Structure 1
């Protein structure tokens, strides 16, 4: 991969999880001259090699990195550690047990930050982490705890207190907060993200968009094949049930009538 030429190297980003939905969009944004401080110099890292569809022009350099392996993190990141000013953390690993998730994801972020901060003339100043609405819902992937959760009711607000359960999102926030004030940080609790990546495991909106396009092409009504509650927090619906108990999603046509989308 040929390195990109950048006129402004004041900001140098390391996107960990660059091949995911958010990572791809971040890289596209940061290299634009119109971006604040842009164009940035962008390094991208992921556990697996770049997929064939990933545009290599988005990155100055790509690093295949196992952040869970401290030695691999040090070997791969030490050569660039003195350059990085900003880390964008948009990756995670998930297991069934939430305590394992806490330990594993915390170790990944710790390994990366330790390398970058230990560099001679280290420039790292800001860490941005992406979490999500599990912050307000609890460990929904844990097969035991998910049956016992007492979650917050939507709509969710950032001022809501933490739930009394293990949650690796909490662990990541506490980890970056511990570096203050020598590092600044930001936390982004995204709900549903739409984007294009074969590496994305949570891509409900793009799936629904493709399904809607097929329905339109075939002249079929768009019926969501699950319970109404799954749609209620995100989309307007008319509450009528279609065949098989599916919720029929509609929009107002301006005359007080609902039409299938």
Structure 2
């Protein structure tokens, strides 16, 4: 395996866009570790809103709040560091009603940031890592109607060189955007499975969602019903620890042989949700409830109702 580059004479400077999410928190902690590849790093972290009180501010040299969908705000906030940043770690996401809207908003955000950091004469930006996921291989799993009634995901195992699916996907748009900057900029794409990490700011924090759901069921004496399908109940699944994902981002960012490629990243262990549901039931002192497909259960509606009841 090719070794990473030696520690540079001038320190690498990272900008983590989406630092308050699961992957972002782990990236900040990993980059500030004394053992970080390419370190010591100077680390800027950014997100849309002000830094939350729970965030470990000691892992950042500076926090920058800005709206990446707004080109003016992006330029105002990032121009002061545009001559410093050598690496961007892109772990930001915004979710809209349709995948076409997701394409527009997420591509706009990344484009606005790159225009500022790569557009000037003093730019030092050399590499960007882009966080995506296995939806690259599965298509519109969150809104199957966007596949025009014909949903044909790739069969596992998912390998990085599988062809793209004929559905809208903002992951594809992000990849195409960073590729357009080659050779003035190198990139890597990181395709995770379900990310498990710590953050209350993440859109897809499965760990936090399940913990809240289980706590509500225990508090109100409700059955802890599975929220997926029989297929996911019985078939194998995997996950990606945010800390493992962060290490892959950093390795790829400083290793010459990793440039301009995509990498899957999972923990390597597999499970079924049937077995996981038993462990969750035990952890939250709940009776294990087997899957009952005949029951109609809208999880989103259930959680919305609980939010209203809790005020």
Task: Work out which of the residue numbers 285, 291, 296 in structure 2 matches 1:245.
Answer: 291
Distance 1:106 1:243, change over 3 A: closer
Distance 1:143 1:137, change over 3 A: closer
Length-normalised TM-score, structure 2: 0.68
Residue deviations 1:203-257 (CA, integer Å, cap 9, x gap): 2245557889999xxxxxx98564442242311467xx9745269xxxxxxxxxx
Distance 2:18 2:9 in 1: 24
Number of equivalenced pairs: 234
Higher-helix-fraction structure: 2
Length-normalised TM-score, structure 1: 0.80
Distance 1:116 1:55, change over 3 A: same
Match of 2:92, SS?
A: coil
Distance 1:80 1:225, change over 3 A: closer
Match of 1:22 in 2: 23
Match of 1:230 in 2: 232
Distance 1:223 1:93, change over 3 A: closer
Instruction: Give the Å deviation of 1:189.
Output: 0.6
Instruction: Give the Å deviation of 1:33.
Output: 1.5
Match of 1:34, SS?
A: coil
Match of 1:107 in 2: 108
Match of 2:246 in 1: none
Match of 1:185 in 2: 187
Please say if residues 66 and 77 of structure 2, whose CA atoms lie closer than 8 Å, have aligned partners that are also in contact.
yes
Please say if residues 97 and 143 of structure 1, whose CA atoms lie closer than 8 Å, have aligned partners that are also in contact.
no
Residue deviations 1:92-131 (CA, integer Å, cap 9, x gap): 1111222111111111101000000123321000010000
Q: Higher mean Cα deviation, 189-198 or 12-21? A: 189-198
Q: Higher mean Cα deviation, 125-134 or 144-153? A: 144-153
Distance 1:34 1:212, change over 3 A: farther
Distance 1:38 1:213 in 2: 41
Distance 1:17 1:34 in 2: 23
Instruction: Give the Å deviation of 1:29.
Output: 0.3
Is residue 128 from structure 1 mapped to residue 132 from structure 2 by the alignment?
no
Instruction: Give the Å deviation of 1:39.
Output: 2.1
Q: Which has the higher contact order (CA 8 A, sep 6+)?
A: 2
Distance 1:203 1:107 in 2: 24
Match of 1:176 in 2: 178
Indicate the RMSD between aligned Cα atoms, in angstroms.
Answer: 2.9
Residue deviations 1:167-194 (CA, integer Å, cap 9, x gap): 1100000000111111110000110111
Match of 2:39, SS?
A: coil
Q: Which runs of 5+ in 2 are unaligned?
A: 1-7, 218-223, 238-270, 279-287, 294-311
Q: Which runs of 5+ in 1 are unaligned?
A: 1-6, 216-221, 248-261
Q: Higher mean Cα deviation, 106-115 or 147-156? A: 147-156
Counterparts in 2 of 1:1-261, with a 5 A limit?
10-142=11-143, 144-145=145-146, 147-205=149-207, 224=226, 226-231=228-233, 232-234=235-237, 235-236=271-272, 243-245=289-291
Please say if residues 192 and 205 of structure 1, whose CA atoms lie closer than 8 Å, have aligned partners that are also in contact.
no
